[in-house]
Amino acid sequence: MAGRLPALLKDAALTALVAAALGLFIVGFKTRDIGQGLFFDYQLVDLAIAVAVIFFGRLGLQFASMGLKWPSFALGTVLGAVGVSPIQMPSTFLHWFVVIAGVLIILRTIWPWANTAIATVRHSERGKAFGRRGAKWFGAVLLVAAVAMPFAPFADQKTMDLAVLILTYVMLGWGLNIVVGLAGLLDLGYVAFYAVGAYAYALLSTQYGLGFWAVLPLAGMFAASFGLLLGFPVLRLRGDYLAIVTMGFGEIIRLVLLNWVDLSNGPAGIGGIPGPTFFGAVFAETAPTGRQTFAEMMNIPFSSNQRLIYLYYIILLLALITNFFTQRIRRLPVGRAWEALREDETACKALGINPTNTKLTAFAVGAMFAGFAGSFFAAKQRFISPESFSFIESAIILSIVVLGGMGSQIGVVLAAVLLIGLPEWFRDLGAYRMIVFGLAMVLIMAFRPRGLIAHREPSVRLHPVRAGP
Amino acid sequence: MLEVRGIATFYGAIQALHGVDLDVAKGEIVTLIGANGAGKSTLLMTVCGSPRARSGSIRLEGEDITQLPTHEIVRRGVAQVPEGRRIFPRMTVFENLQMGATLGDPAHFPQDIERVFAMFPRLAERREQRGGTLSGGEQQMLAIGRALMSRPRLLLLDEPSLGLAPLIVRQIFEAIGRIAREEGVTIFLVEQNAFHALRLADRGYVLVNGRVRLAGTGRELLANQEVRAAYLEGGHG
């Protein structure tokens, strides 16, 4: 090791140099407009710390890849300790940066060992059985936690808001999972159906005074018919081509909403959308004439949290319906046909499956759930505009499905928590939070290229799995 | 049962079949042999409606099926074991067989799957295993079993011996013979392995460059000088 040390140091120094050159302009200084022209804010300490972390980080990674466990472990620990120590640094983000670098090095060090250990356990019969039971229990525990969540002591308004947001994406992820995960049709314009559902509720409620529960099925039907509409022209397309056309479809819907001012009020959006009611009771401090508030109905004091908790349960219910539906339909002929279609279209035809109908139902059913989620979104936000339905939304939903492991239901939940929760929790990091987001995605793709939960459980088992072969 | 008259099929501007006539009677095993690129698979696929014939007619028990889409033809009792097996790799053996029963009466399912398992006990052993992890021979058994799940009247097989070890090839051909004799399924078999195919078949056709060159009983063709020279001696068989 001693002999190679100079080379390693040189390599690390070179990496740090590149980082310094790049970082000088990105991190090193910032322009600031103070009214009399632009001024520079120098952040050279930030830059120096970043470069130092990169130097030691590179050194640590090199140690780890050479199998020198202890030096790299020590480096990682030191970095982590420096990160959490109260040493004065210009921003909390730098603390985070140093900690993350330390943790990553430690992870890299123990990765090969952990990997073999996990693989050994997983392939043992007991491990397999435990995994299966574990998955079932994990789902059940998660469900109980989700139901109990609004009454937890930490469930303040911010947390509940975030929970509602995450659940919305869980539902969208489950809906898109039908199209992408089961039927294998890469849809990059899923947000279009979300928008259709949202505008359906916004327009029907503000123009015709229909309530949330009346519009919900209508919004689903509207979105499903748009799914059919999109489905017809793209039936012959696959893979990349399909992705591009669906992406175009998503943009078309957004542009129509933006420009058809008579219908959608254009970029100004639609406001004053009523929230969902509870058996006719509204969630507000004072009810409009002829209505009563939820607080009056239940004879409890009013709290602004009640509305949020109600919204939470609605989206939880909608998401669970989506999940339940998907689990059931996978066992029915049409669900099996979706999966078979993903595997091999030619073989499907040879078995008498009509690929046209099968694809169209997948599009329509997936779109229907996006429509439900969309009208929920409109009812929650009370204001919608085309801005909320840009391409990045489709990309995020698709990322949730892909990172979760295509076709895995619990994977979607994990990925939604990660992709939606992480950027919100790290909001304090300001502009850097997208770096953490990107880092998380890169790490998942590097270590779990087929998604968090890549394993596909057979939809049918004939008998309980035996303990031995 | 199957009546093919003057079929011409094109791939773009290239004509693959030049007016092929062919008959398969009920309960028969008919084989179509020929060299690579002679149009064997094209003929089988044309019977299935993909690609469609540009001229000529295909009749199934008197009904013209020439212009029907594949899934409609399958619905009329024609099952296909496609070239390269094309099982669903990420689905289990059981799920693959379930897919085969898509068109069938759900009430028949338990009985049909037992029949397939009785014919191929290997599949029963591996019913929970993913299709993609089976060996080539097992995948072929699965493809045949899957096709049988729809209770077809006519079974089309495209090169079931492709890429299989000789011992397995023999097992597969035995199974095909049993399907015809015991189950009463009419079989149209496309093969490069002329020796096995002709020995099994009641009648055979030899396809050369998109035209039927010879026709006769399996025994006649096996004895035919031209067939021997072209397909039996020199590596095949």
Architecture of domain B1-77+153-163+186-237: 3-Layer(aba) Sandwich (3.40)
- Best B60, B68, B71, B96 member to test A by mutation, with max A CBs in 10 Å, is B71
Please report the pLDDT score of residue A468 as a whole number: 38
Beta-carbon separation of A350 and B86 below 8 A: yes
Neighbour order of strands in the sheet with B78-81: B78-81, B154-158, B186-191, B29-34, B203-208, B211-217
Which of the four pLDDT bands, split at 50, 70 and 90, describes residue A29? confident
Give A133 or A221, the one with higher predicted confidence: A221
Q: Which of B33, B99, B168 is nearest to A347 (CA)?
A: B99
Contact A98, A82 (CB under 8 A): yes
Q: What integer is the mean pLDDT of A17-30?
A: 84
Residue A425 has pLDDT above 80, yes or no: no
- Cα angle: A57, vertex A61, A63; to 5 degrees: 115
Which residue among B92, B102, B127 places its CB closest to the CB of A351?
A: B102
C-alpha to C-alpha distance for A279 and A282, rounded to whole angstroms: 9
Contact A297, A287 (CB under 8 A): no
CA A277 to chain centre: 28
- Best B78, B97, B102, B157 member to test A by mutation, with max A CBs in 10 Å, is B102
Which of the four pLDDT bands, split at 50, 70 and 90, describes residue A462? low
Which of the four pLDDT bands, split at 50, 70 and 90, describes residue A465? very low
Beta-carbon separation of B86 and A355 below 8 A: no
Contact B34, B40 (CB under 8 A): yes
Condensed to tens digits (0 to 9), the pLDDT of residues A431-445 reads 666 776 777 778 777
Closest-CA residue of B relative to A354 is B71
Beta strands B63-64 and B55-60 are antiparallel
Please report the pLDDT score of residue B137 as a whole number: 92
Q: What is the pTM of this model?
A: 0.79
Residue A243 has pLDDT above 60, yes or no: yes
CA distance B109 to chain A (A): 13
Beta carbon pairs, A and B, within 8 Å: 79
Which residue among B50, B86, B150 places its CB closest to the CB of A347?
A: B86
Q: What is the mean pLDDT of chain A?
A: 86
Domain locations in chain B as residue ranges: 1-77+153-163+186-237
Contacts with B50 from chain A: Cβ below 8 Å: 349
Contacts with A458 from chain B: Cβ below 8 Å: 91-92, 94-95, 128
Please report the pLDDT score of residue B236 as a whole number: 45
Beta-carbon separation of A456 and B90 below 8 A: yes
Please report the pLDDT score of residue A450 as a whole number: 74
Please name the residues in contact with A110: beta carbons below 8 A apart, sequence gap of 6 or more.
A73
Q: What is the complex's ipTM, to 2 decimals?
A: 0.84
Which of the four pLDDT bands, split at 50, 70 and 90, describes residue A47? confident
Contacts with B89 from chain A: Cβ below 8 Å: 343
Contacts with A354 from chain B: Cβ below 8 Å: 69, 71
Please report the pLDDT score of residue A460 as a whole number: 62
Q: What integer is the mean pLDDT of A205-210?
A: 92
Closest-CA residue of A relative to B146 is A351
CA distance B59 to chain A (A): 18
C-alpha to C-alpha distance for B202 and A353, rounded to whole angstroms: 31
Condensed to tens digits (0 to 9), the pLDDT of residues A151-171 reads 888 888 888 999 999 999 999
Please name the residues in contact with B210: beta carbons below 8 A apart, sequence gap of 6 or more.
B15, B16, B17, B18, B20, B38, B39, B42
One-letter identity of residue A142: L
CA distance A400 to chain B (A): 22
Q: Which of A39, A40, A53 is nearest to A93 (CA)?
A: A53
Which residue among B89, B92, B146 places its CB closest to the CB of A458?
A: B92
Beta strands B29-34 and B154-158 are unpaired
Residue A137 has pLDDT above 70, yes or no: yes
Contacts with B127 from chain A: Cβ below 8 Å: 462
Contacts with B88 from chain A: Cβ below 8 Å: 339-340, 343-344, 347
Give A206 or A291, the one with higher predicted confidence: A206
Contact A373, A224 (CB under 8 A): no
Contacts with A350 from chain B: Cβ below 8 Å: 48, 70, 74, 79-82, 86, 147
CA distance A189 to chain B (A): 27
Q: What integer is the mean pLDDT of A391-409?
A: 87
Which residue among A337, A343, A460 places its CB closest to the CB of B102?
A: A337
The token pair that represents B3 in the structure block: 């009546």
How far is the CA of A437 from the CAs of A183, A306, A412, A421, in angstroms? 28, 32, 16, 10
Condensed to tens digits (0 to 9), the pLDDT of residues A295-305 reads 888 888 888 78
**DSSP readout, B6-57?**
EEEEEETTEEEEEEEEEEE-TT-EEEEEE-TTSSHHHHHHHHTTSSPPSEEE
Question: Chain B within 8 Å of A459 (Cβ-Cβ)?
Answer: yes
Closest-CA residue of B relative to A347 is B86
Contacts with A337 from chain B: Cβ below 8 Å: 99, 102
Closest-CA residue of A relative to B95 is A460
CA A112 to chain centre: 28
Residue A467 has pLDDT above 50, yes or no: no
Beta-carbon separation of A336 and B102 below 8 A: yes
Beta-carbon separation of B128 and A333 below 8 A: no
Beta-carbon separation of B127 and A339 below 8 A: no
Beta-carbon separation of B98 and A460 below 8 A: yes
Of A6-15, A43-52, A134-143, A354-363, give the lowest mean pLDDT range: A134-143
pLDDT in tens, chain B (237 residues): 999 999 999 998 999 999 999 999 999 999 999 988 889 999 999 999 888 999 999 999 999 999 999 989 999 999 999 988 899 998 999 999 999 998 888 899 999 999 999 999 999 999 999 999 999 999 999 999 999 999 999 999 999 998 899 999 999 999 999 999 988 999 999 998 899 999 999 999 999 999 999 999 999 999 998 888 888 775 444
Condensed to tens digits (0 to 9), the pLDDT of residues A60-111 reads 888 888 878 888 888 888 888 888 888 787 777 788 888 888 888 888 888 8
Condensed to tens digits (0 to 9), the pLDDT of residues A165-191 reads 999 999 999 999 999 989 989 899 999
Contact A201, A378 (CB under 8 A): yes
Beta-carbon separation of B90 and A354 below 8 A: no
Contact B216, B192 (CB under 8 A): no
Residue carrying the six token digits 């995960």? A181
Question: Chain B within 8 Å of A225 (Cβ-Cβ)?
Answer: no
